[in-house]
Each structure stands twice: as C-alpha cells, then as structure tokens.
Amino acid sequence: DTGVSQDPRHKITKRGQNVTFRCDPISEHNRLYWYRQTLGQGPEFLTYFQNEAQLEKSRLLSDRFSAERPKGSFSTLEIQRTEQGDSAMYLCASSPGHRWGYTFGSGTRLTVV
C-alpha cells in the first residue's frame, strides 16, 4: 500500500492550453474521487468513479473538464482550453467504500498564466 499518487505535483500552463493530470489510487480501492481546492477554501467535489463507471459529476465540472478511469485502475483528469480561474490544487482520493474515509493524494497544483 503506497497510498494515492498524483502526477505531476505542479503544472504551469498558458491560458488556452490543455492539461492532463493522473491519479493512481490504492490498488484495492474501487472508488476514486476528484476534488478541487482553491486558496483558503475547503476541497470541492468534482467527480467520482466506482470501478470504471463515472457515477457522479458536479456542476463545477464544465464541458472543458473530462475525467476517465479506464479499467477501473488509474484515472486522468483533463482540462481543455485552460482559464486563469482553473488555477487550483486538484486532489484525488480513493476509498474502499462510502462508509470509510477517503485517502487523499498530495495533489497537483495547477497555475494558469
């Protein structure tokens, strides 16, 4: 059990570029979650997978955002045509079930310039 891994740790991109983040959950966890956290705020829910199925999406997840979890293992979060408002920490978490607390990764800090 090596925890939840996220890559990259930091990403600086120019406005209008596309970016993709990767999350590797704890291997035996079938649930995977993406959250976004801006400075001084708590994390906000973006989307959740159970195995490979994307079961819930927040209204925060505009059509520029897409997430996948092929084969129910790692997950990617892509942001197209980035905007300055997308600058945030993107957190991934995994869990063996809803009744249990999540294990969070260290996050990917995105800066859009």
Partner 1 sequence: AQKVTQAQTEISVVEKEDVTLDCVYETRDTTYYLFWYKQPPSGELVFLIRRNSFDEQNEISGRYSWNFQKSTSSFNFTITASQVVDSAVYFCALSEARGGSEKLVFGKGTKLTVNP
Q: Which stretch binds partner 1 (CB under 8 A): 19-27, 38-46, 69-77, 80-88?
A: 38-46
Q: Which of 14, 59, 71, 98 binds partner 1 (CB under 8 A)?
A: 98
Asked if residue 48 binds partner 1 (CB under 8 A), the reply is yes
In the chain, the N- to C-terminal Cα span, in Å, equals 36
Q: Which of 45, 54, 66, 80 binds partner 1 (CB under 8 A)?
A: 45
Evaluate whether 7 touches 19 at the Cβ level (below 8 Å).
no
Query: Hey, is 3 helix, strand or coil?
Result: coil
Q: Which of 13, 20, 54, 58 binds partner 1 (CB under 8 A)?
A: 58
Distance of CA 49 to the CA centre of its chain: 11
Asked if residue 99 binds partner 1 (CB under 8 A), the reply is yes
Q: Is the dihedral of CA 89, 93, 98, 99 positive or negative?
A: negative
Q: Which of residues 74-93 bind partner 1 (CB under 8 A)?
A: 89, 91, 93
Rg for the chain, CA atoms, rounded: 13
Which stretches of the chain bind partner 1, using CB under 8 A? 31, 33, 35, 40-45, 48, 55-56, 58, 89, 91, 93, 98-107
